A and B are shown apart, each in its own frame.
Chain A
Amino acid sequence: MSEFLDVFRRPDFIPLLVTHIELSVVALLLGVLIALPVALAVNRSPTLSAIAINIGNIGRAVPSLALLALAFPLLGFGFATSLVALTALAIPPILINASTGLRQVSPQVMDAAKGMGLSGAQILGRIQVPIAAPIIFAGIRTSAVQVVASATLATFVGGGALGQLIVLGFQRNQPAIQIAGALAVAVLAIITELLFGFLERAFTPKGLRVARKRRGK
């Protein structure tokens, strides 16, 4: 047990944890910054939206490890390679949910908004985005949890992060290190899930929460 706790007191534990969080946060942020504008841009065209959703679906089918393997020959070892691969992993769920969510706003609501004189940008910003917010956030949450979990693999391309502990444990045949590393990743993923679950609720407009509760009855 003390052997196990010692892992968390290792001088490299905190830096590895920080790298893991850094890598995840930056990758998620980049994913949001790429996927959201694309979803907003294609929203007006059913064809482009369908293409975006399909690209997202294909993207989701590619395993994280394969993404790393693809980025490695191009960018070599290091943080950047991991970041690119994780960003690529973060994009699809956000892109899919945002594109679908924006298009799911009912045609009557869209017609009423247009008929009352809202401009295209106003319809997007004041009507579509708030109504789609819970779906968009659900996509970001999926991405976030996936990125945090997959950042573990960064160690294979020299990206550091908590995966390094797991690999180390293997190499030295010290299960305590291995388990401590895995546990740290799991806890981080759960915290991420809870945090984004909270954000999702916070960003769901009250009227939609009320509607959801009513429907649930």
Chain B
Amino acid sequence: MIEFRGVSKTYPGSARPVVKDLSFEVLDGEICVLVGPSGCGKTTSMRMINRLIEPSSGEILIDGEPNTAMSGTKLRRKIGYAIQQIGLFPHRSIADNIATVPQLLDWDKARIKGRVDELLELVGLDPGVYRDRYPAELSGGQQQRVGVARALAADPPIMLMDEPFGAVDPINRSRLQDEFLRIQEEIRKTIVFVTHDIDEAIKMGDRIAILKEGGVLAQYDTPEEILTNPTSDFVTSFVGADRILKRLSLTRVSEMELEPANGSGEGLPTLSDRLTVRDALSALMGAGVGRGVVEGEGGRRLLTMEAIEGLTRGARA
């Protein structure tokens, strides 16, 4: 668990803090996304966890211990680190890039080699093909994958990721996000993820910390709660006017409690229960009807506007 306790950061010679009295907890095995407009201190907050930046006041605890209990370099070797421009070492092979931290920790060669191949497999790159290549020979997306593999190399319980998918085109970004979520299912790391993109935050986060200018925490909650019940005008405008639709995209039709269709489905459109509720709603509206039949493992069930509204009930307009 990572715990921010009253953390503030003011740079010397500056009157205004970039991070102001930040207190929140990141639970083990969760992805916590720090999101906000530029100048909200999200990257600064992340960089204070592994002490690339030292706070002006307050403290950050990792598993109950202040992160100042050991030297900065020792601490950083225990925390995975992946950044937007990737920062692969151009003079080192892919294998050596991934092996950076294990080498610092003096792992033996056989162990390192095994780990490198395992990680290349994990991020979907064939070790036989990519192990001995150099960063310049890889596409942007492949470099991002190597960046993630490198951050995971020594199996750190915590990972810091600063817009790790920022430098690729939207299609590749979406694929990398999906892949990473699949990997996270397996590895269950405690992850602090920085982005400026609210859609990425909603997709990636188990919990989202929305920061506003001056480094003030505006809301810290699950994506569902933030979209359904934003606590301030700032959050409302930051998540966008389509927040209810975004909320619907977080749920799949198969996860809804629906009545069996029985005989009442005559003439209604048929939808797959793998759709998100948002896509299902779009399909119903496209068909010009208020109801549809969902087909899936739960048999034939009836999807109605009322059921969809039930998902977002309690949302303030």
Residues of A within 8 A of B (CB): 106, 108-119, 122, 127, 130-131, 205-208, 210-211, 214-215
Contacts and interface: CB of A to CB of B under 8 A. Distances in A.
A210 B137 contact: yes
Contacts of B85: 106, 108
Contact of B76 (A108, A115, A206): A115
Nearest to A209: B134
B207 to A, nearest CB: 23
Contact of B135 (A116, A119, A211): A211
A207 B134 contact: yes
A118 B73 contact: yes
Given A108-B87, A131-B91, A208-B91, A116 B76 contact: yes
B194 interface: no
Interface of B: 50, 52, 73-78, 81, 83-93, 100-101, 104, 134-137, 147, 150-151, 160
Given A117-B77, A117-B104, A211 B50 contact: no
A206 B133 CA distance: 10
A112 B79 CA distance: 12
A125 B216 CA distance: 40
B52 A131 contact: no
B136 A214 contact: yes
Contacts of B76: 114-117
A208 B151 CA distance: 22
Contact of B91 (A111, A207, A215): A207
Given A109-B90, A115-B50, A206 B134 contact: yes
Contacts of A116: 76-77, 81, 100-101, 104, 150-151
A108 B83 contact: yes
A114 B136 contact: no
A211 to B, nearest CB: 4
Contact of B90 (A110, A111, A208): A208
B89 A127 contact: yes
Contacts of A110: 87
Contacts of B50: 115
A126 to B, nearest CB: 8
B87 A210 contact: no
A72 to B, nearest CB: 44
Enumerate the 6 nearest inter-chain pairs by beta-carbon distance, A residue then B residue, closest first.
Answer: A112-B87, A117-B77, A211-B136, A117-B76, A205-B91, A115-B81
A114 B104 CA distance: 12
A206 B132 CA distance: 11
9 contacts: A109-B88, A113-B87, A117-B75, A118-B104, A207-B90, A207-B134, A207-B136, A210-B136, A211-B134
Contacts of B90: 109, 131, 207-208, 211
Contacts of A117: 73-78, 101, 104
B264 to A, nearest CB: 59
Given A109-B89, A207-B92, A214 B137 contact: yes
A210 B86 CA distance: 18
B86 A108 contact: yes
A70 B41 CA distance: 56
A131 B134 CA distance: 13
A188 to B, nearest CB: 33
Given A108-B86, A112-B86, 13 more contacts: A106-B85, A109-B90, A113-B89, A115-B50, A115-B81, A116-B81, A116-B104, A116-B151, A131-B90, A131-B91, A207-B89, A207-B92, A210-B137
Contacts of A118: 73, 100, 104
A53 B47 CA distance: 32
Nearest to B92: A207
Contacts of A109: 87-90
Contacts of B136: 207, 210-211, 214-215
Contacts of B151: 116
Contacts of B104: 116-118, 122
Nearest to A215: B136
Nearest to A132: B91
Nearest to A207: B134
Nearest to A214: B136
A112 B147 CA distance: 9
Contacts of A113: 87, 89, 100
A211 B101 CA distance: 24
A103 to B, nearest CB: 16
